[in-house]
A and B are shown apart, each in its own frame.
Chain A
Amino acid sequence: MDKLKTKTFLTYLDSSNPLLLLHPCVKVLALIIFNVVAWIIEAPIPLLAYFVALASLYPVLRVPFRSLAKALPYLLLVAQAVTVSYILGSKIPGSVVYFELPWGSFVSDRTLMYMVTVMLRISCMILGSTLVFLSLRDVDLVYGLMGLGFPFTAAFTIALSMRFSILFIEDYARISEAMLLKGARLDAGNVIERARSVLLTGVPLMVLALKRMQELSYVLELKGFPPKGKRTYIYEFVWKQEDVVAAILLAVLLATSALLRILGLFGFPGWPFV
């Protein structure tokens, strides 16, 4: 018999998955710290080590490696953008200049090093974010943000946004199918023609959005929103020992990275940007 699965933002995970069982605050903290650490580290070798460490968290936390396939198109998109920017538009001096371009840009050994470093940095962010989103439920987002001091209204609005985005993806698919059945060709023509075809779906999508907005405001008012006085919550999340350990590890990761950067070990001499 199949194991019981829990729906998260990106997938279905086994309900016993250790990542899923983490306290919501730890998940939201992980999302922020995984990304901030990638910003702190400048040097390519530590970034590579960080990338490998994040990738190795997938099997350790029993998250199927195939879920990484979801992140692959985004990684390729970022890689092409960074490559084009650095190859065509940089003037970073190095010990060897491989080629110069007519508009004054040139590619040196350092250009390639910086390019790989920026690519690694963004890849780390995508890898870390995907890992968290694979285990994040909308309830985690509300409780996690509130646990970190966000007001209930802000946390609730962000969670609603995520929930509505999934609804609108379904609406978009339904509207597109209806348009295709009526003979519309949504993917034909050049960029402008395709852009204009967005309009075919845009008006009905906006009508649905306006209706949902009206309904949502009525529902929220009927449920007594905004909450006054002390409110109670349907879920109770208790900090377990493993949550405390995970939070401490995340804090240590952040503090160590910052310290090593200040000491220069995670810095990259000659890094051309602030």
Chain B
Amino acid sequence: MIDARKVAVTAVTAGICLPLALFAIILIPIPGLPAASGFWIPAGFYFPLTLWFGIWGALGGHIATFLAMGYFQGYTLHVWLDGAIGDLIAPLCALLIFKLMDARPDLQRKKDRIAWLIAVPVASLVCGLWVHTVNLLFGVITPPFWWVGVVTYFIGDSLAVFIVGTPLLRTLTSFVKQSPMYIWRE
């Protein structure tokens, strides 16, 4: 059942990530890859938001990416399948790893930090493989740029999540815990 809280999480996550996605594409573009960025700033926001609020945070990242990337590459099946689904998979992958490892997003315990160190690269790699395989199939990139795309995606996403997302989780999780939307209950 969709309620006001879930809509608020999704809308605000998408609202914050949309301009960040546009900034990321314009400020740090990757030669050879349209609508890609070497430092995917919104990932640094939607990863923590997904770890705090669950699938609704990831859905916000998905909407933001579709709207932002759509402007560059069209509001078509390609962009929806490509960046938008990719950016839904990545934070959900991180959330799944946290659930499987029984870790918490405040990164206080050693187990939490290990989960974070595993979740971010794994999620970024899975997403990078997905995004650039779809890009290749739709002819937006040429075969040699598939590797460039996967590697830059992996680095760009992981860097952004580690640099932006880690301090957000460490400093703001205790604040977020007061919210009724926080999904981790002891």
Across the interface, B72 reaches (CB within 8 A) one of A126, A195, A218, namely A126
B138 at the interface (CB under 8 A from A): yes
| A212 to B18 Cα, complex, angstroms | 16
**A77 interface contact, C-beta 8 A:** yes
Given A78-B72, A216-B11, A220-B4, answer yes or no on A199-B16 (Cβ-Cβ < 8 Å): no
- In the docked arrangement, what's the CA distance between A129 and B22, Å? 15
The reply on B2 being an interface residue by CB < 8 A is yes
**Counting chain A CB atoms within 10 Å of each CB, which of B8, B48, B176 scores highest?**
B8
A248 CB-CB contact with B under 8 Å:
no
A36 nearest CB across to chain B (Å): 6
**Would you call the interface of chain A mostly helix, strand, loop, or mixed?**
helix
Considering only CB atoms and an 8 Å cut-off, how many residues of chain A contact the other chain? 69
- In this complex, the member of B4, B10, B63 whose beta carbon has the largest number of chain A beta carbons within 10 angstroms is B4
- Residues in A neighbouring B181, C-beta threshold 8 A: 213, 217
**A220 and B12 contacting across the interface, CB-CB below 8 Å:** no
Q: Is A81 at the interface (CB under 8 A from chain B)?
A: yes
Residue on B nearest A103 in the bound complex, by CB: B144
Residue from A122, A163, A198 within 8 A of B34 (CB atoms): A122
Q: Are A74 and B76 in contact (CB under 8 A)?
A: no
- Complex: how many Å from CA A39 to CA B143? 20
Shortest CB distance B144–A (Å): 4
Whether B139 contacts A271 by the Cβ 8 Å rule is yes
- In the complex, whether B14 has a CB less than 8 A from a CB of chain A is yes
**Which residues does chain A contribute within 8 Å of B164, judged by CB atoms?**
195, 198-199, 202
> In the complex, are the beta carbons of B63 and A191 less than 8 A apart?
no
Q: Which residue of chain A has the shortest Cβ distance to B10 in the bound complex?
A: A157
Given A89-B144, A195-B160: A206 and B15 interface contact (C-beta under 8 Å): no
Q: State the CA gap A203–B16 with chains docked (Å).
A: 12
Given contacts A82-B34, A214-B179, contact A125 B167 (CB under 8 A): no
Q: Which residue of B lies closest to A225 (CB)?
A: B4
Contact of B73 among A122, A163, A172 (CB under 8 A): A122
Among A89, A160, A206, A213, residue most surrounded by chain B Cβ atoms (within 10 Å): A213
Which stretch, B25-33, B84-92, B98-106, B115-123, touches the partner chain A?
Answer: B25-33
Please measure, in the bound complex, the distance between the C-alpha atom of A78 and the C-alpha atom of B141, giving whole angstroms.
Answer: 12
Contact pattern, A 139-156, Cβ under 8 Å of B = 1, otherwise 0:
000000000000001001
Q: Which of A36, A105, A158 contacts B63 (CB 8 A)?
A: A158
Tell me what chain B mostly uses at the interface: helix, strand, loop, or mixed: helix
Which chain B positions have C-beta within 8 A of A86?
142
A195 to B156, CA, bound (A): 11
Cα of A167 to Cα of B18 in the assembled complex, Å: 11
Q: How far is the CB of B141 from chain A (nearest CB, A)?
A: 5
User: How far does the alpha carbon of A226 sit from the alpha carbon of B5 in the complex, in Å?
Assistant: 10
Q: In the complex, which residues of chain A have a beta carbon less than 8 angstroms from the beta carbon of B31?
A: 80-81, 84
Given contacts A80-B31, A203-B172, contact A89 B15 (CB under 8 A): no
Is there contact, CB below 8 Å, between A78 and B34? yes
* C-alpha gap A135/B8 in the complex (Å): 26
A85-B142, A169-B19, A203-B167 known, 20 other contacts, Cβ within 8 Å: A32-B75, A39-B76, A39-B78, A81-B36, A105-B142, A105-B144, A125-B73, A165-B15, A191-B28, A191-B38, A196-B163, A199-B167, A209-B13, A213-B12, A213-B181, A216-B12, A220-B7, A225-B3, A272-B139, A273-B137
A-B complex: 8 closest residue pairs judged by Cβ atoms:
A164-B15, A273-B139, A161-B14, A220-B4, A160-B11, A125-B74, A89-B144, A35-B74
- Which B residues contact A (CB, under 8 angstroms)? 1-5, 7-16, 18-19, 25-26, 28-36, 38-39, 41, 44-45, 48, 60, 63-64, 67, 70-78, 136-145, 148, 159-160, 163-164, 167-168, 171-172, 175-176, 179, 181
Name 9 interchain pairs, CB-CB below 8 A, sorted by A. A88-B32, A122-B74, A126-B71, A161-B15, A161-B18, A165-B14, A165-B18, A203-B168, A209-B16
